[in-house]
Structure 1
Amino acid sequence: MSSQLVANHRENAEIYNGDALCEQKTLQLLDEISLPKGLIPLDEIVEVGYNRNSGFVWMKRNKKKEHRFRRIGRQVSYDTEVTAFVENRRMKRLTGVKSKELLFWVSISDIYIDDPDSGKITFGNPTGISRSFPVSAFDLEVEGDGQKKKKEGE
C-alpha cells in the first residue's frame, strides 16, 4: 500500500538518491518540521522524497533497519519503505515504523510534539494508545569529540 502512496505523490515531489544526499535531506526535513534530528536512523537510506503540496514524505532503504534508542531503552524497526504526511512538529499516517513493547512489535502511526515547552514527544499507534518520551532522547547521537556518529567502515 505504501508503494502505491509513493507512486501517487511522486509527481511534483522533490526526490533525492544516494546515501549522503538522503542523509542531508532527511536532516533538513526533520529540522524544517521541528522534530528531533535523531528520530530516524540516517544510514543506508537510498531514496528520500517530499511532496510539499500534499506534505507526503517517503524514505526507502535496501533492507529493514532496527535501531535502539539507548536513552529510553526502546528497540525500533524501520521497514524498507517509511511514509508519512508531515506538518510542523508532526508526522501522521506513518507507515513502516514499529516499536518493541515487551514481546510485541507495535506499529507507530503518529509522532508529534504538542507543546514544545513540555520537552515531550508523543508516539501513537493506530488503536489510539500513545506514549510520551523526552524529546532529548531523540537528539542526534554524537561521539566523544562532538562529531555525528559515523557508520562502520568510514
Structure 2
Amino acid sequence: MASQLIEKHRENAEIYHGDALCKQKSIELLIEMDLPKGLLPLNDMEEVGYNRQTGFVWLKQKKSTEHVFRKVSKKVSYAPDITAFVEPRKFKKLSGVKSKELLIWLTLSEIYIDDPSSGKITFMTPAGLSRSLPVSAFELEESEGPTKAAEKEKKKEEEAAMA
C-alpha cells in the first residue's frame, strides 16, 4: 500500500537519492516542520520524497531498522518504507513506524506537538491511544549527526561480521 501511495504523490514531488543526501533532507524536513531532528534515525536510506502540494512525504531505506531513544528507554521500529502527511509540528496518517510498549509493538499513526511551550511530543496509535514524552529525548545528539551515526553503524556492522 505504501508503494501505491508513493506513486500517487510522485508527480511534482522533490525526490532525493543516496544515503547522505536523504539523511540531510530528512533532517531539513524535520526542522521545517518544527519537529525534533532525531525523530527519524534511519540508516541506508535510498530515497526521500516530499510533495509540497499534498504534504505527502516518503522515506525509503534498504531494510527495517530499530532504534532505542535512550533518554526515554523507547525502542522504535522503522519499516523499509515510511510515509506520512506533514504539516507544521505534525506527522499524520503515518505508516511504517512502531513503538514497543512492554512486550507489544504498537503501530504509530500520528506524531505531533500541540503546544511547543509544553516541551512534549505526542505519539498516537490508530486506536487513539497516545503517550506524550519530552521533545528533548528525540533531538539529535551533537555527536550523532548524520555522518557520525553512519560511521557508528558501519563500525557496528564490521564488528558483527567479525563475530
Q: TM-score, normalised by structure 2?
A: 0.89
Structure (1/2) with the larger helix percentage: 2
User: Does residue 96 in structure 1 map to residue 99 in structure 2?
Assistant: no
Letter in 1 for 2:107: S
Matches within 5 A, 1:134-145: 134-143=134-143
Aligned to 1:73: 73
CA distance in 2, matches of 1:47, 1:88: 22
CA distance in 1, matches of 2:87, 2:35: 10
> 1:114-145 deviations in whole A, cap 9, x for unaligned?
000000000000000100000000010233xx
CA distance in 2, matches of 1:18, 1:42: 12
Per-residue deviation at 1:44?
Answer: 1.4
CA distance in 1, matches of 2:105, 2:42: 21
Per-residue deviation at 1:60?
Answer: 0.3
- The number of aligned residues is 151
Mapped contact 1:109–1:126 kept (Cα < 8 A): yes
CA distance in 2, matches of 1:69, 1:105: 15
After superposition, the CA RMSD in angstroms is 1.2
Identity rate of aligned residues, in percent? 60
Aligned to 1:150: 149
Mean Cα deviation higher: 3-12 or 40-49: 40-49
Structure 1 stretches of at least 4 aligned residues deviating more than 4 Å after TM superposition:
none
Letter in 2 for 1:127: A
Query: What SS class does the counterpart of residue 149 from structure 2 fall into?
Result: coil
Q: TM-score, normalised by structure 1?
A: 0.94
5+ long unaligned stretches in structure 1: none
Mapped contact 1:26–1:42 kept (Cα < 8 A): no
Mapped contact 1:62–1:80 kept (Cα < 8 A): yes
